[in-house]
Each structure stands twice: as C-alpha cells, then as structure tokens.
Chains A and B, each alone.
Chain A
C-alpha cells in the first residue's frame, strides 16, 4: 500500500495541526503512526478515512487522489474500515446488528446474506456467543472486537485504527492486539495510531513519528526504535519507554 501527501495542511481555528506535510510511504502490511498527543496522528488518520478534508494540499492512496465532494468521500469511507478509540458501536443495536448495518444499508446486501457474512466474521473473532448482546452488555475488549468485525465485514480496501486499545485495561488490550495481529494473515493493509510501542515494534512494517504538525521520521520498525535519527524522536522514545 502507498500513501502520498503533498503539502497537506489542516487547521482548526487558529491552531495548525498539520502544516504543509509532504510524506510518502509504501508498506506491505502495517503502518504504525506514533507521536505525542495533539501532534496530528488522529487528524492524519481522519483525513485518510475521508472523515475530514485538508485545508490545502492533496492526499493520494495507492496513486488515487482522495475526492473532495461529500458524496465521493462517503463512497471512499464505505470502502474503508475505520475503528475509533472507543464507543464506536451503536448502543441500540446488538453486536450482530452493528456488523449487519453497513452491509444492508450501505452495501445493499439482503438481510440473510448480510447475516451470514456478519456471523462468519463474528465467529472468526470468537464472538459467536455474544452476537445477540447489545454493546452495554459486552466488555470493552469485546466491543472493540465487534467494531473491528464491523469494519472488516464490508471487505474494505484497507483498515484505519485510531488508538484502538487506549480505552482498555491491559488484559483487554492484549485481547484486541491479538485480533489486530491476526488481521495480518488476512492480507488487508492496516494503518494504526497507537501508544503500544511493543506492539508497533513487533507488528508494523513501517513506523512514522508524527509531531509538531508533520511527519518527522518514517522507518522500518527496527531502525525506528533501535536507531532513531532525530533528537526529538529519541527524547520521545526515552520518555515513553522509561517505565
């Protein structure tokens, strides 16, 4: 998968979160975005998701520029699997209903085909006995697995995960990271914003450091963690890996 950013700027009021970012990266399976809070990781992910548009510049995914108008952006989103940090399920629908909704409402599948496909994905994530439960009856880890199942069930071109484990305790974090690691086998490219450095190191092909409104470093996981070139990244890693 290839991502290309040309002069991408995104401002919120007077705050420039991404400042004329030029960035190009190719990776086989997983790209991890790390960096301090407020550095622009999530903003970049939302731009790639088509949930937000840059104020200037353009973004190309696999050579295709992201569209500008809302209708094309909506189609782009429907073909992209997006998982948020927390609370991204619909609380009034069961786990099964959550996975089925995009299949029936957006992708035009009839109810029985959608049900079969949703059940398949939920089984794959060991959620078979929880399909009838509403999100309120599921643990945080189960909810996040349902969210990943919902994103994956539509057979997206790639998956975007925005801090998928930040709201979870360590045990549930492990449970969700297992699922994400398992996705590697499915061959779907993943772009992941995370604070789990160990996971980024083990699972990511490329790791990008996003801070101060730009991509300051991008390298293979090994090089990134063992031999960081920029002082600001060294500092960040030292601080974050201290405990």
Chain B
C-alpha cells in the first residue's frame, strides 16, 4: 500500500478499493465508539418493542402527512409563483407578502399561531388537517420561490423563438416554458420534500400522533430514551436518504445546454 492510498485528488483520483476500504474502516470505528459510549444505556429493547404498533402508526402518519402536504404545497407554490408574476398589483403584492412573511418565520411559530390562534378561533379542531395545511403553507412559500426561479431561468430568447413560430401565450407556456421549468425545478422540489418530511416532526407540539410524537410517548412510558430515539432517527433517515439520492439523480438528468 503506497503512501497517499487514502488521498483523492482531481489529478490523482483514489482507487475504488480505497473508497470501499475507507467506508468499512469508518463504519467499524464509529460503531465501536458508539457501542462503548452507549451500550450500557441500550438495554431496554423489550419494553420498547411492546410499543412497536404505536411507533409504526406514527411512522405511517408522518409519511401520510408529508405526502399530503407535498401535493398541497406544490399547488400553493405554483399558484403563488404565477401570482408573483401577475401584472395585477394587488395579486402580486399578496403573493410577495405571503412568501416573505412565511420565509421569515420559524415553523414552530407558524404552527403554534396557526393552530392555537387561527384554527381555534374559527373552530377548526381536526389537528391532522390543520397540521397538513400549516405545513403546506410553510413549504408552499419555498416551492413558490423554486418555481418562480425556474420560470425566470428560461431565457427571453425562448419567448422570442416561441413568438416567432406563431405560438400563442398559452401554447408558449404549455409547449416551451413549463416543460423546461419542470426539468429545472424537479431536483429542488424533491429536496423540499425531504425538508417536509423532517419538518413534519414539529407537528408533535400540537399533539398530532406522528413519528416524533410516538417516540416521545414511548420514551415517557418506558423511560428508555435511547431505545426510543435511536429508531426515531433511523426511521427519518430511511425516508430522507432515498429522496436525497433521487434528488442527486435528477440533478444529473437536467444538465442540458440552453
């Protein structure tokens, strides 16, 4: 083994064997360290195992809430992005105010105010649907900016070319702008989906029985902090890592010249 076996530089890339070996060694070292530090506190699996149904229900709720919020926030984002480009000033400024307000607030504040403030005041007590709407309003502001950026990234010359061949404005959006916007925004929207899954954990503060809520409940019932929260982390990673890999794949797909 030469010196520099573990070095990866543009001029002299590491061999695949070096990468695999690195991963194996690191896994061994870090899991060993974790074992030494936490093995004495990871003993109470049996009691936690009794609550597996609570845990799985929470996981299912997290997936369901995230999926519903993704659909709703995409719709909100698309409408907001178009409103922000509207020539009608009241509509445009409403969109700007919404996006800037939401992006300036922590999600916790939005959830607390939205649920205990607004939803309670209008007598809307279904926690799950309120949670989905609040999460969608939060995420929708970010998706609106992604979509607006996507539309703006399609150059003036594309509009000119579309007009030159005689397309109407509607046809231009349909055949020229949207197909290009879609390819541009898919990776960041997929990334936003990953954020959505993680952000849904905050809904536990308004008592929605999703994954984090379930783990917290099991912890309170069994006094087994590590045994409750280690699976919690793993369950989130199981959801977010594939999305993150998918995002990377999508990014590699959209690279065409404009």
Contacts and interface: CB of A to CB of B under 8 A. Distances in A.
B256 A78 contact: no
Contacts of B257: 91, 135-136
A88 B164 CA distance: 10
B165 A150 contact: yes
A134 B171 CA distance: 21
Contacts of B180: 90-92
22 contacts: A51-B160, A74-B163, A74-B168, A82-B164, A87-B157, A87-B258, A88-B160, A88-B161, A90-B161, A90-B162, A90-B176, A92-B180, A92-B256, A101-B175, A102-B165, A102-B167, A105-B167, A105-B175, A106-B165, A106-B167, A134-B256, A135-B256
CB-CB nearest 5 A-B residue pairs: A78-B166, A136-B257, A102-B165, A82-B164, A136-B256
B158 A90 contact: yes
Interface of A: 49, 51, 74-75, 77-79, 82, 84, 86-92, 101-102, 105-106, 134-136, 150, 154
Contacts of B123: none
Given A74-B168, A86-B157, 13 more contacts: A49-B164, A74-B166, A77-B163, A77-B165, A82-B164, A82-B165, A87-B155, A88-B161, A91-B180, A105-B175, A136-B256, A150-B165, A154-B165
A75 B166 contact: yes
Interface in B88-107: none
Interface residues of B, number: 21
A92 B183 contact: yes
Nearest to A153: B165
A13 to B, nearest CB: 17
Contacts of A92: 179-180, 183, 256
B161 A91 contact: no
Contacts of A86: 157
Given A74-B168, A136-B256, A89 B161 contact: yes
B118 to A, nearest CB: 42
Contacts of B163: 51, 74, 77
Contacts of B158: 90
Contacts of B168: 74
B164 A84 contact: yes
Contacts of A89: 161
B157 A88 contact: yes
B256 A91 contact: yes
A232 B179 CA distance: 48
Which of B155, B160, B161, B256: most chain A Cβ within 10 A?
B161
B183 to A, nearest CB: 7
Nearest to B162: A90
Contacts of A105: 167, 171, 175
Contacts of A91: 180, 256-258
**Most chain A beta carbons < 10 A, residue from B155, B183, B257:** B257
Contacts of B171: 105-106
Nearest to B184: A92
A77 B163 CA distance: 7
A91 B177 CA distance: 11
Interface in B164-212: 164-168, 171, 175-176, 179-180, 183
A135 B161 CA distance: 14
A87 B164 CA distance: 13
A78 B165 contact: yes
Nearest to A91: B258
Nearest to A88: B161
Contact of B164 (A77, A134, A135): A77
Contacts of A135: 256-257
B115 to A, nearest CB: 42
Contacts of B175: 90, 101, 105
A87 B165 CA distance: 14
Contacts of B167: 101-102, 105-106
B67 to A, nearest CB: 28
A92 B176 CA distance: 8
A84 B166 contact: no
A150 B167 CA distance: 14
Contacts of A78: 165-166
B181 to A, nearest CB: 10
A49 B163 CA distance: 10
Nearest to B155: A87
B162 to A, nearest CB: 8
A77 B162 CA distance: 10
A147 to B, nearest CB: 9
A127 to B, nearest CB: 18
